[in-house]
Amino acid sequence: MRRASTLASFNVLSRSLATVHGGAAATSASPSHGLLQVALYGTSSTTGSHVRRRWFDSFSGGPAGKLAIGVAGTLASVAVASSLTQEVYAKEPPPAELVPKDVVLYQYEACPFCNKVKAFLDYHDIPYKIVEVNPLSKKEIKWSDYKKVPILMVDGEQLVDSSAIIDKLNDKIVPERVAAPSSNDEEKKWRQWVDNHLVHMLSPNIYRNTSEALESFDYITSNGNFSYTEKFTVKYAGAAAMYFVSKKLKKKYNITDERASLYEAAETWVNALDGRDFLGGSKPNMADLAVFGVLRPIRYLRSGKDMVEHTRIGEWYSRMERAVGESARIKA
């Protein structure tokens, strides 16, 4: 994991000082650099540098010169402060020799457990192929005795159950993983919370009413493996069915207010961070990836937008989006 280093700040400052003192022309085209050049010379052109330097030397002694230097100093300070506050997160790919050669995920696009696995794969930049399973026929997984998703094939080995898949993958790509026992305990606790609590908040929210149920199934059928006829049938029949299923889930998990329960879960997670960028500290751990994964399918549905608007989870989610980065999926 990498953050924007203070070296970047020193580079900005040194380029600014080089300009002030008539040093070598900097090649950066950053806005802060351009502003410094304008403040001092009125142009960013390297032509006539000797004339500009002589002009600056004669100008700097007067009140206007002092003002220009003050402006330049302020701009340099702003540039340094800006670069210090910019956070750049990066993926954590394993050593090349540990990357599996053939990874295939059998999934439903909107499945939170499948998205947990994808978040892990994406963050570690492990290339994988997708086989979208038709939830009606499940013909794509008829070869397997396990009739649920996700199923992950890793170099010919079948892995099932999202948390078990992630554990086994983690052992494969980070065999010498070292962490403090307390850190492991915290990570384990919150991964269990994701599986035993957070995921149960999703269906009652995304199928809260008929319009949200239709929105969800429009997303599912647009991304899933359906024929034209199946899309129409699944969208309306599925939305109606899941609307009633969500009511049963509300009762089962003692949910009286769907949104309030989702917001409470989001705030519980933010409280667990305790001011850290991630539960893992300066970089995500497997609990961060699990929470991010199960929330990713709803983030831009009505329920996810409401969650970000009414809780403090948005900043953490944005950091996770930057850390996880682009999908490692291999497009057919």
> Chain centroid to CA 205: how far?
22
CB 174 within 8 A of CB 132: no
For 151, list phi and psi in degrees, rounded to 5.
-120, 130
Q: How far is CA 48 from CA 20, 51, 237, in A?
A: 15, 5, 74
Looking at the DSSP assignment, which residues form a beta bridge with residue 281? Answer: 278
CB 212 within 8 A of CB 206: yes
Rounded Cα distance, 308 and 298, in Å: 11
Contacts of 77 (CB under 8 A, 6+ apart): none
Residues counted in the chain: 332
Please return the burial class of 118, using the count of CB atoms within 10 Å of its CB with bins 0-12, 13-18 and 19+: buried
The residue whose two tokens read 């999703």 is 202
Rounded Cα distance, 69 and 14, in Å: 15
Nearest one of 292, 288, 320, 319 to 115, comparing CA atoms = 292
How is residue 317 written in tokens?
Answer: 């989610």
Lay out the sheet containing 103-107: strands in order across. 129-132, 103-107, 151-154, 157-160
Catalytic residues: 108, 111, 113-114
